Amino acid sequence: MPYLLFVDLLVLFLFIFALVLAETKVRLYLLAVMALLFIFPFLFKTTAIKLICFAGRVIFGIGCYVYVKMHGYLS
């Protein structure tokens, strides 16, 4: 499933870029959400949890993209 790896790498890139731009409280929020979305599927190995976390990573990546665009980067 190479598309999963592609999405994860894209979300990771956007996350790092948003983390550099974020202030302290937003950084803590970004780190907590990212940790939950990537660690949670390894704790519970059901297909439903993996699918929910994948959808969460996609939505999180879109949120990071919007956050970066709000700050005037990636225009």
For residues 61 and 10, the answer to whether their CB atoms sit within 8 Å is yes
CA gap 29, 18 in Å, rounded: 11
pLDDT at 59 over 90: yes
pLDDT digits (tens, 9 = 90+) for 19-55: 888 888 888 988 899 888 888 888 988 999 989 998 9
For residues 4 and 55, the answer to whether their CB atoms sit within 8 Å is no
pTM, to two decimals? 0.83
For residue 63, is it within any domain? yes
Nearest residue to 62 via CA among 32, 18, 25: 18
Question: What is the 8-class DSSP label of residue 44?
Answer: S
For residue 75, is it within any domain? no
How many domains would you assign to the chain? 1
Given this model, what pLDDT does residue 2 score?
Answer: 80
Q: Domain range for residue 58? A: 2-70
